[in-house]
Structure 1
C-alpha cells in the first residue's frame, strides 16, 4: 500500500467543503495503490469463488436393495428433508436432526434393482410370482431371524449373480417398475432443489462388485429433469449391465451426446477393492491398460472419495511408513464382504496417495494421467441420514443406528477377518469452493476439482500454488485475491515457472463449533529421473511454540479429551493457521503433486458418546480418540519441454 499517497489524499479531502466532498467520485484508477482489488469493495467485481458449500456426495435410501432389505424404511423425502436441516424419525424410531443443514447433496441409490426392496415388502406380483421372490416375501412377513436370513440370502444371490432372471428383468431399466422408481428419484431431486439455498443433484451409484471387490462409482448429473428423464441409469447385472468401468464411461458419453447435458463419476472406497481400484498394468478383466483406458478415466473421474464410513482412503502405514498420521481409521482386513483376505501387495492399488504417485508414472508412459483426481468425502450411509458428526452418528445401516450394543455388532465377519462395529467411521463431507449454491456452480467446481474432503468437521481450507507468493500475501483477511492472481487453486496445474521453486499458500480456519487445529502439512509426491516414485510429508504450520526434533518430527499437540465425559477443550491448538511454503527439494525436471492435510487436535470418537449416553460397553481394542482432518485436492507440476 502507498501510505504517502493515502495521507495526502486524506489531507486534501479534509480541506474540501461538504459540497465538494459530495461531488468527489474516485475512479477505479484513483484507487490503484490504495486497495489491491478491482474496486474498493472487496465483494464487488469478484469473479473467483468466495464461499465454501458443504455437502454429501453419497447417500442411500430404502430404494437401495441392501438398505431396504436390512430395515431402512426412510425414502427420498425423508433423506432430502434431513439434509436440509429438518427433524425426521429414523427407521428405528429415533428422532434425528443435523447440527447444521447441508448446502447440497447427491442422493445415490444403487442403480441395480433400484426399488426392489420396497416392491418386495409391498408384495409386488412380479416378485412373489417367482419361487425365490415368494420365499423371501414370506420370510419377511414372519420377521425376526427369518427376515434376517432372507435378507442375507437375497444379497448373496445378488452378489453371486444367481437371482431368478425374472426378478432381474422386473427391476431392470426399461421395466415399468424400474422406470417409475427412476422418475421418483428425479422428481424428488427437483422438489428439493432450491437454487441459492440448497442444491439437490440427480444421481445414482453404479455398483460394480467383482467377486466382493468394491469398484463402485457415483454418477452425478449437472442437469435437471428434462435431461435426466431421457435416460435410465447404468447397471451391472446382465443382460443389460456391466461391471467394467469402460462401459460406464460409454454410458456417460452416451448421456452427454443424447441430452446435451453433463455428467461425472467418482470412485469410492478403494480400500475394499483388494487392489483393483487403481490398476497399473491391467484391469481386473485382464485387459492391459492402454491410452483408451487412461484417457477415459482421466476425462470422466475428476474426483475420488478419500474418506467415508467404511474407512479412510488417503494412505496406509505399509505404503507410507514415515507418515506418523498414516494409520487413521484403517480398514484393511479384506474386500467388501470379506470373501477374500487382504495381502500387502494389494494395498498399492487401493489408496489415494499411492494412486496419485502411480498416475505420474502412467502419464510418463501414455501421455495422460488417469489418476489426476481431486478429493471428496461422503458418508455412504444406508439409513437415509447423512450424519458425519461424532456426537450425532447414526451409523452405516439401521443395524448400526444408536443402541447400547452397536459397538459390539460386527459390520462384517468371516473366516477371513472382521470389521468390528466400533470401527465404523463418522465420516465425511465435501467442501466445494463455488460462486453460488446451484447445481451448475457446484458441479463445475467438482469438475475442476476445486473441492476438498473432511472427515466430518467443517474446517475452512484454502490452498494455492504459484511461483511468487511471499509473506505479504498473508497480511490480509482475504488472501484469496493474491491466491488467484498469482497462482492456481487446489485441483489445478501450476502455471509456467517464473522462479526456481514453487511456493504454496495455505490457510485453514477451524470449524466454528469444532476443535482447534493442530497443524497443516503439505504432502508431496514425485517421480525421479529413473522413474522411481517418492513421497514426503512436511509440517508447514502448527500451533503453539513446538519445535521439530533432530529428525524433523514435530512433537504431538497434546490431548485434552475427557473420555468419561466424551468432551474436549480448546485449550491447545489454534483457531487458524496459515503459511507460505516453498518446496526446499524442488527439481524442475521431476513431475510432482502437492496437497494439504489439516489436522485437528484430538477429539472423542462416536463410541465415547455411546458410552456416555447409552451406557455402552466399549471393547478394550476400540479406538476412542482420533484427530479429524481435511484433505485438499492436489496441485500438479509437470516439467515443460
Structure 2
C-alpha cells in the first residue's frame, strides 16, 4: 500500500513543479490572491515586537568624578561589557552581565573633559596647579586619601571654584577637550552594530547650582559625521552656564548646524531640592512662562525615574494613600548635602507630582512641559552597567564589591550623610522599537514608547483606547489589538468614541530568570474642573486568591525570602498578569494621565548578598527586602474642544 501511494503521488508532485516552472506569478499577482490580513500573523507586521533593553546613563574613567575615584576603564571597556563580554573592573575583579544589553548611551561628564586621565597620569598641566597637585597626590596614595581628594575635587566643581588654569586647559577650545570628545565618538562608532547592538553618542551636562541637581543626559541620533561638527557644552563659567535654557540653545544649534537630532533626559529630581519641576514664578534659569514650557516640552521627552541615587516615582508625603510610595526614597537634601530637604521641596522632585502639575501648566499655557516617557538607568561611575541585586558593582570604584563597602557613605557633610547601604541597584530602560538601530530606538524615545524597571527585565505592554474587551486578551499577541484599537504607552488617547470611559489593556510577564509578579496597578492623575489636582492608585489585577477590601486595597502577596541564603521561592505570585480595565471614575471634562506600575514579589536587596558572600554584619537600619518594579510611560487624556 505504501508503494502504491508513493507511485500515485509522484506524477502529481512532478506536475506541480512543472506548472510552476512554466508560469512564475509576480509578487503583485501573488499578493492579490490573499486577503488583506495574511494567514501568517507575523507577515506585514510593522509595530515593535519585543522590548529592547538598554542603559541611558553610564560613566567611564573619562568623567571627572569617576576618574578621580579611580576608574581606569575607558569607553571601549564599557561598550564591550554592555555587549556581554567579561572584563575586569577597575579593582581587578572579573565581572559580566547575566545577559547582554541591546543598546546603550554612554554619558561621560562634559566639564573638564580630558582632565581625569591626565590626573591619573600626573601630567604637567595638572601638577602645575597647587590644587591639581594635591588631588594627584591623594589619588596616588589611594584608599581614604583618594576618596577625600575626589570629594574635594567634586566640591570645588559644585561650588564653581575649580582653578582657572585647569578650566582653561580642559574646556571647549582646548585640545584635550576636543581629543577626548573625538575618542568618545569614535568608540561609539566602533561598537555600533545596526540590527544587533546600538551604541549611542551622548554626554552628561552637569548643572548643579547650589548643589541642587539639574543634570541632563543628552542622546544623539547621529553618527560621527554629525557629532564631531560640535563639541558638548559645559556648565562652568566663563565657558558655560548652569541655566537649562543654555543647554536647549546648544541642542537647537546642533540640529541647525548638523541636520542631526538630539534629546535631553533629566534625572534625580529627588536631589534638586524642588528645582527639577518648577511650576510657578522664578526658578534657576528664568521664569515658568510660555517659553519655558515650550522649550522643555521640545527637548525633554523622557525622564529617568529610577537609578542608583534613589527611586523618583512617588513619595509618601505627596501620596499618603499609596502604600508602595515609600520605595528607595532619598529625601535628605541636595546632591552634596549642603542644604537639607523640607516637605515643601518635594512637590518639585517626584514624577507623579510632576505629571499632575504638567496638566495644570498645559491648561494655562497650552503646552505640557512634563509630558515625558519613563526609563531607568544606573548612573554608575564604574563603567559597568550592573543593575541586578546579586551583581551590583555600585556607584563608584571606591565602593565596588568588598567587605567594607557598605561602611562608606555615598555623601557626608556637616548636615548629615546618606549611608552606603542606601544605594540602589537600579535600573534599565526598555524601548519598544521596530528594529535595533539608533534611528528606531531614538524615534521610540521621541514618541515615549519606553518603560523603566528597577533592574529585572519584566515584559510590559500598556494600551489605551475606548473599546478594549476581554476578547482582546484571548491571544498570545495582544499587541495586535492594542495598536489597532488604541495607542501604546507614551501616547494620547484618540478622540472619544460614544459616551463611555476609556479602556486600557495591561500585559506583564515576569523576568524569565527573576521573581514572580505580585500585582499590576494603574496610577491615575487628573485635574478637576476647579483646577485642583488629584491622584489615585488602582489595584487592577493580582496573583493568587486575594480579595480587595472595601477601599479596593489588595492584601500583601506574602514573603518567601530566605535571608540566610539570599534566595526566594516563586511559589507565590504569577508568571504573567493580564487585564482590561475601565476607568470607574472617568469625567470627560477632566485632563488626566494613566501609567502602569508592576510589582514583583519580595526579593533580597543587594546588601543581603554582600552579607553572605563577605560574612559581614549589616547595619540595623539597612533595608534587606524590597519589591522590584516596572513603570510604564503614561497615556494622556485631553478633553475635546
> Structure 1-normalised TM-score?
0.94
8 Å CA contact 2:113, 2:176 repeated in 1: no
Rounded Cα–Cα distance in structure 2 between residues aligned with 1:501 and 1:21: 56
Rounded Cα–Cα distance in structure 1 between residues aligned with 2:142 and 2:524: 53
Q: How far did 1:60 drift?
A: 0.4
Rounded Cα–Cα distance in structure 2 between residues aligned with 1:418 and 1:578: 42
Q: Are 1:237 and 2:236 counterparts?
A: yes
Q: Which residue of 2 aligns with 1:612?
A: 612
Q: Secondary structure at the match of 2:406?
A: coil
The structure-2 alpha-carbon separation of the partners of 1:79 and 1:610, relative to structure 1 and needing over 3 Å to count, comes to same
Q: Which residue of 1 aligns with 2:349?
A: 350
Q: Are 1:395 and 2:398 counterparts?
A: no
Q: Which residue of 1 aligns with 2:538?
A: 538
Q: Which residue of 2 aligns with 1:290?
A: 289
Deviations 1:533-553 (A, max 9, x none): 000001111111111012221
Is there any run of 5+ residues in structure 1 with no aligned partner, and where?
1-16
Q: How far did 1:619 drift?
A: 1.0
Rounded Cα–Cα distance in structure 2 between residues aligned with 1:551 and 1:158: 50
Q: Secondary structure at the match of 2:245?
A: helix
8 Å CA contact 1:504, 1:582 repeated in 2: yes
Q: Which residue of 2 aligns with 1:564?
A: 564
Q: Which residue of 1 aligns with 2:471?
A: 472
Q: Which residue of 2 aligns with 1:3?
A: none
Deviations 1:253-293 (A, max 9, x none): 00000000000001001101010000001343373211111
133-142 or 148-157, which moves further after superposition? 133-142
Rounded Cα–Cα distance in structure 2 between residues aligned with 1:565 and 1:160: 45
Q: Which residue of 2 aligns with 1:8?
A: none
Q: How far did 1:134 drift?
A: 2.8
Rounded Cα–Cα distance in structure 1 between residues aligned with 2:441 and 2:545: 39
> Structure 2-normalised TM-score?
0.94
Rounded Cα–Cα distance in structure 2 between residues aligned with 1:151 and 1:474: 54
Q: Which residue of 1 aligns with 2:3?
A: none
164-173 or 355-364, which moves further after superposition? 164-173
Q: How far did 1:40 drift?
A: 1.4
Q: Which residue of 1 aligns with 2:523?
A: 523
Q: How far did 1:151 drift?
A: 2.2
Q: Which residue of 2 aligns with 1:116?
A: 115
8 Å CA contact 1:51, 1:436 repeated in 2: no
Q: Which residue of 2 aligns with 1:508?
A: 508
8 Å CA contact 2:112, 2:170 repeated in 1: yes
8 Å CA contact 2:244, 2:285 repeated in 1: no
Deviations 1:157-214 (A, max 9, x none): 2211112211101000110000000000001001111111111000000000011110
Rounded Cα–Cα distance in structure 2 between residues aligned with 1:265 and 1:553: 38
Q: Which residue of 1 aligns with 2:624?
A: 624
Rounded Cα–Cα distance in structure 2 between residues aligned with 1:302 and 1:351: 16
Rounded Cα–Cα distance in structure 2 between residues aligned with 1:330 and 1:19: 72
Q: For 1:527-606, list aligned pairs within 5 A.
A: 527-606=527-606
Q: Are 1:76 and 2:75 counterparts?
A: yes
Q: How far did 1:608 drift?
A: 0.7
8 Å CA contact 2:387, 2:428 repeated in 1: yes
Q: Secondary structure at the match of 1:51?
A: coil
Rounded Cα–Cα distance in structure 2 between residues aligned with 1:456 and 1:436: 22
Q: Which residue of 1 aligns with 2:42?
A: 43
312-321 or 545-554, which moves further after superposition? 545-554
Please give the root-mean-square deviation of Cα atoms over the aligned residues, in Å. Answer: 1.8
Deviations 1:27-86 (A, max 9, x none): 778765xxxx83111221111111210001000011111111011111111111110111
Q: Secondary structure at the match of 2:151?
A: helix
Q: Which residue of 2 aligns with 1:11?
A: none
Q: For 1:214-233, list aligned pairs within 5 A.
A: 214-233=213-232
Q: Which residue of 1 aligns with 2:314?
A: 315
Q: Which residue of 1 aligns with 2:8?
A: none
Size of the aligned set, in residue pairs, is 621
8 Å CA contact 2:430, 2:450 repeated in 1: yes
8 Å CA contact 1:28, 1:38 repeated in 2: no
Deviations 1:450-502 (A, max 9, x none): 00000000001000000011111111100111100000000010000013110
Rounded Cα–Cα distance in structure 1 between residues aligned with 2:77 and 2:126: 26
Is there any run of 5+ residues in structure 2 with no aligned partner, and where?
1-11
Q: Which residue of 2 aligns with 1:489?
A: 488
Rounded Cα–Cα distance in structure 2 between residues aligned with 1:184 and 1:509: 40
Q: Which residue of 2 aligns with 1:413?
A: 412
Q: For 1:45-64, list aligned pairs within 5 A.
A: 45-64=44-63
Q: How far did 1:18 drift?
A: 7.6
Deviations 1:370-397 (A, max 9, x none): 0000101000000000000001000011
The structure-2 alpha-carbon separation of the partners of 1:222 and 1:564, relative to structure 1 and needing over 3 Å to count, comes to same
8 Å CA contact 1:74, 1:384 repeated in 2: yes
8 Å CA contact 1:506, 1:578 repeated in 2: yes
